[in-house]
Amino acid sequence: MKIISFLGIMLFSVSVLAARVEVDIVGITCGMCVEAITKGLKATDKAENISVVLEDKKATFTEVKNKKLTDSEIKAVIKKAGYEAVKIRRKQ
């Protein structure tokens, strides 16, 4: 029982501290688009494990522990790269 409680606490603490974020993006057409978005997210120092998939027109990343990116910040990063974030989802 102690092991199950410990695992529950560990899973809860990880999910609270590091959300997985998915962003649907309009305008991605090539590898340079993917690179620009990836570079922009990395520059915030609030995103890690970044993956931008051209075919899905989606970026996914994990927020850095104790550093949350607001929806407005995500939209601004994507806009600065030349694209539009149309839907942002957080998954624990």
Q: How far is CA 43 from the centre of its chain?
A: 13
Residue 76 clears pLDDT 50, i.e. is over it = yes
Rounded distance, CA 67 to CA 88, Å?
17
Q: Which CATH class is domain 2-91?
A: alpha beta
What pTM did the predictor assign? Answer: 0.79
Banded model confidence at residue 89, pLDDT cuts 50, 70, 90: very high
For residue 36, give the nearest of 88, 83, 85 by alpha carbon: 83
Average pLDDT, the chain: 87
Residue 11 clears pLDDT 60, i.e. is over it = no
Per-residue pLDDT tens over the stretch 38-60: 999 999 999 999 999 999 999 99
- What distances in angstroms separate CA 52 from CA 3, 5, 21, 32, 41, one per listed residue? 37, 36, 12, 11, 10
Report yes or no: 61 and 39 within 8 Å, Cβ to Cβ. Answer: no
Q: What is the mean pLDDT of residues 6-35?
A: 76
Furthest C-alpha separation in the chain: 52
The full set of domain ranges for the chain reads 2-91
